[in-house]
Structure formats: structure tokens, C-alpha cells
Amino acid sequence: MDRVILHSDMNCFYASVEMLYHPELAGRPLAVGGDPEKRHGIVLTANYPAKKKGIKVGMALWQAKQACPDVVFVPPRMDLYLRFSRLARELYSEYTDLQEPFGIDECWLDVTDSVPLFGGGRKIAEEIRRRIKLELGLTVSVGVSWNKIFAKFGSDFRKPDAVTEITRENYRDLVWRAPAADLLYVGRSTRKKLATLGMLTIGDVARSDPELLHSIFGKMGYILWVFANGEDRTPVSPESYVNPIKSIGNGTTSPRDLEDNDDVRTVIYLLSESVASRLRDNHFVGDTVGLWVRDNGLYSFCRQQKIGTPTNISDEIARHSMCLFEEHYPWTVPIRSIGVRMSGLHPDEYCYQLDLFSDVKAREKQFKIDLAVDSLRSRFGHDSVLRGRMYFDRVLSGLDAKAEDHMIHPHSYFESGDRTGTCRIMENLQTYE
């Protein structure tokens, strides 16, 4: 029996979430962009009115402004988008536990076993589409098919707010007539090579000789042929989840130079608390602690270390950061700025090996204390609960470690595309060889 696979894609995701929070901009062109660090000044997503005026993802902000002078830019709020991404995943999990996210806004669902319970694939897809709109205020387009590749094709076929089913009866009409570039992993150079062979549509690829494709593209040639024919059998695999967020960090330039380990410890605790609390908000634990330090001369360094047990406990992050500091800073001159970052992020329900020597009960207690502090601070402000050491030096501990200073770095589109692409291809090779 064929599997029933859905691919759900949230439409113009970041922009749609921002529209929920800016109802006054309804109908106006809006673009999300302007990451403070490396993706500075680039459009990450645009809503449909902005796209209609020619704004494209990846455009520099100034170009977008040229194309559409009345566009409104809003800076990205990754933690907000993550929250919606998580809410969508919770909703999907009512239909299946086999869900494989593809980036932050897309997800494959294998609902084969839920069909007897909820009705056919299309019925489940329609229900998900309706519920996401009603419960989250966002639109999705959903593709339904017997394999992941055609399900993904279906979610791109009609959008926004639509369901497209690709069946054994209609795939020649719907999929095969589409340009070859619409097939997953056919990039620009593959498309050009295919065109020189006279293969312009997915159907051309499907009907071609797989050995010919192999002679030109290597193993990838077989994969393309398999994809185009709807023969992809890779499972929807919850394990292949790649976290869309790379790291969460917070840094600061202190109000006065830091003179000794005690000063540094105060600032590290302050930063670690805010990083840990942000991890907890987003249901992450991290397995790598990073520290960067700049002194008041020219020297700066950046060190990171993998830790045994992934954590989002403030005290543990602070201790690891402090160890890194003591190990690597020679104290020749005072310090101007310092930052703490957690990477190697996993969902907090992630299973990991505890090391033999950590006290599980003590950790649980620490975690509960942190949660209690989070809740007090959200109600009564940051200063309502402070560690004792913060009272030694209110100039240092009064630093503004508020949420806005956080740096949350998503994997870049190309990086995560490449990475998931490569591992997916490896999987395929194992399946087909």
C-alpha cells in the first residue's frame, strides 16, 4: 500500500507572523530583513503585496526600496517565529509523530497510520490547513502524495492557503509538465545541463535513460531520475531534524573596564542568565559554550567548548564560561567587552547520555529554580530577583541584559539547504544502491 505523506509549508512565514503583530499594515507591502550581523541588510521574507511589487527574498534592502518605495521594513524576531513554528509542530503532532521539519516553516508528515482514524490524506491536509488558519492566524499550503518529493511539489504548486494532491492518476499532468527546476535539488547548474540535453520538464527527466543521467551527474543522476518518477522511498524521519537555529548568545560592553575575575564573573553570570532564559523560552538545550572577550587594547579572543551534558541551566552555562575565561585570558590588561553564546542546540525533549558524575536531582532543582526566576521576572521585572553577587557592584550588574540585545542566529538559507540536501542525498544513495 502507498504511504500518505503531507508537506506543509507556511506561506511567507516571517512576514505573515509580523502581519499578525502589525494589523495596521494590512494590505501594505512588508518585508522582514536587516539581521544585525552577517545577513545585514537583506530581505529575509516579504508578504504578497511586497512580492507583487517585485521584492524578492535575498534582495538588499536598498534594492527592495527602489522596487517598492512604500515598503515597510521590520527587523526579524527569530524567537517569535520559532514559537509559531513550534505551535505548528504541536498541531501536526495530533495527526502523526512522524514529522520531519525542513527549515523553520516547512514540514513533512507521514500520516499513513492516521488515515483510518481521520480519513484520507486530503481530508487531513484540509483539516490542518483550516486549523492553522483558525488557531495560529497563518496560512499554509499543503501537498499530499505517496512520496516526499511529490508532496513537496504539491505544497509549492498552489499557494497560499491551498491543498494539492498529487496522485498516481494525475502526476503526469501536474508534475511532469512542470519545469525541471521545480524538482527538489535541481539548482541552476543542473537545470542548465539538463537543458543542453533537451530535458526541460520533470517529465523529460523521468522518461530519460537513467544511465545517461548517471554518466553526466554521477550518483545524483540516478536520484533525479528516481525523484522525477515518484519512486523516492526515503522515510519521513524525525531523527534527521536539523535545528533551524544555530546559536543564542548575548554580549555587552561593560559600563567600566573589568579589572579582575570577580568583575568578569558578575558579567558572565548576568549574560549566562539571559542566554539560559532565552534557551528555556524556546525549549532548547545547548551542548557547546562559547565565550568572546575583548580587552581595552587590541586583543580579543573567542573560544568554545563542547560540554558533556546539554544544558539550559543558568549556573551551568556561567560556570563553563568562567572556566573558558580563566583558562584563556592572561590578565595583561583590563577587559572592555564580553559575550556568552550557546550553540549545538537541540529541542529540550532531546534524549542524551548523562555523565556518571553529575547529580541529576541537583540539576533538576537548579532547573526548577531557574523556571521560578523566569516567572517572577516576567511578572515583576528583571530586578525583582537577583543573585547575591549582583549586589557587590550595582554598576556592573545594572547592565542592560534585556531581550533586545540577544543575538539569535538562524542557519543561513544556503547553508541549511546544502546541509540537509547533502544528508538527504546520502540517505537516498543508501536506499537505492
CB of 16 to Mg ion, least distance (A): 9
Answer yes or no whether residue 157 interacts with Mg ion by CB under 5 A. Answer: no
For Mg ion, give the closer residue by CB, 33 or 286.
Answer: 33
Tell me the site size for Mg ion, rule CB under 5 A. 3
- Pair 92, 8: CB distance under 8 Å: yes
CB of 261 to Mg ion, least distance (A): 48
For Mg ion, give the closer residue by CB, 139 or 282.
Answer: 139
Query: Which range in 98-106, 208-216, 227-235, 406-414 contacts Mg ion by CB under 5 A?
Result: 98-106
CB of 255 to Mg ion, least distance (A): 43
Query: Which range in 60-68, 69-77, 97-105, 404-412 contacts Mg ion by CB under 5 A?
Result: 97-105
CB of 87 to Mg ion, least distance (A): 15
For Mg ion, give the closer residue by CB, 9 or 315.
Answer: 9
For Mg ion, give the closer residue by CB, 160 or 334.
Answer: 160
Query: Which range in 3-11, 21-29, 227-235, 283-291 contacts Mg ion by CB under 5 A?
Result: 3-11
Residues with catalytic function: 106
CB of 140 to Mg ion, least distance (A): 8
Considering only residues 212 through 231, tell me which ones interact with Mg ion, judged by CB under 5 A. Answer: none
For Mg ion, give the closer residue by CB, 160 or 210.
Answer: 160
Considering only residues 10 through 29, tell me which ones interact with Mg ion, judged by CB under 5 A. Answer: 13
Considering only residues 104 through 133, tell me which ones interact with Mg ion, judged by CB under 5 A. Answer: 105
Answer yes or no whether residue 9 interacts with Mg ion by CB under 5 A. Answer: yes
CB of 222 to Mg ion, least distance (A): 29
Answer yes or no whether residue 244 interacts with Mg ion by CB under 5 A. Answer: no
For Mg ion, give the closer residue by CB, 12 or 317.
Answer: 12
Q: Which residue is nearest to Mg ion, using beta carbons?
A: 105
Alpha-carbon distances of 115 from 5, 88, 122, 124, rounded to whole Å: 11, 20, 10, 8
CB of 180 to Mg ion, least distance (A): 22
CB of 182 to Mg ion, least distance (A): 15
For Mg ion, give the closer residue by CB, 105 or 287.
Answer: 105
Neighbour count for residue 317 (Cβ, 10 Å): 25
d(CA 13, CA 97): 23
d(CA 251, CA 259): 18
In three-state form (DSSP H/G/I as H, E/B as E, the rest C), the secondary structure along the chain is CCCCEEEEEECCHHHHHHHHHCHHHCCCCEEEECCCCCCCCEEEEECHHHHHCCCCCCCEHHHHHHHCCCCEEECCCHHHHHHHHHHHHHHHCCCCCCEEECCCCEEEEECHHHHHHHCCHHHHHHHHHHHHHHHHCCCEEEEEECCHHHHHHHHHHCCCCEEEECCCCCHHHHCCCCEHHHCCCCCHHHHHHHHHCCCCEHHHHHHCCHHHHHHHHCHHHHHHHHHHCCCCCCCCCHHHCCCCEEEEEEEEEEEEEECCHHHHHHHHHHHHHHHHHHHHHCCEEEEEEEEEEEECCCCEEEEEEEEEEEECCHHHHHHHHHHHHHHHCCCCCCEEEEEEEEEEEEECCCCCCCCCCCCHHHHHHHHHHHHHHHHHHHHHCHHHCCCHHHHCCHHHHCCCCCHHHCEEEECCHHHHHHHHHHHHHHHHHHHHC
Query: Which range in 4-12, 47-55, 239-247, 424-432 contacts Mg ion by CB under 5 A?
Result: 4-12
Query: Which range in 77-85, 99-107, 205-213, 362-370 contacts Mg ion by CB under 5 A?
Result: 99-107
For Mg ion, give the closer residue by CB, 46 or 223.
Answer: 46
Q: Which residues bind Mg ion (CB under 5 A)?
A: 9, 13, 105
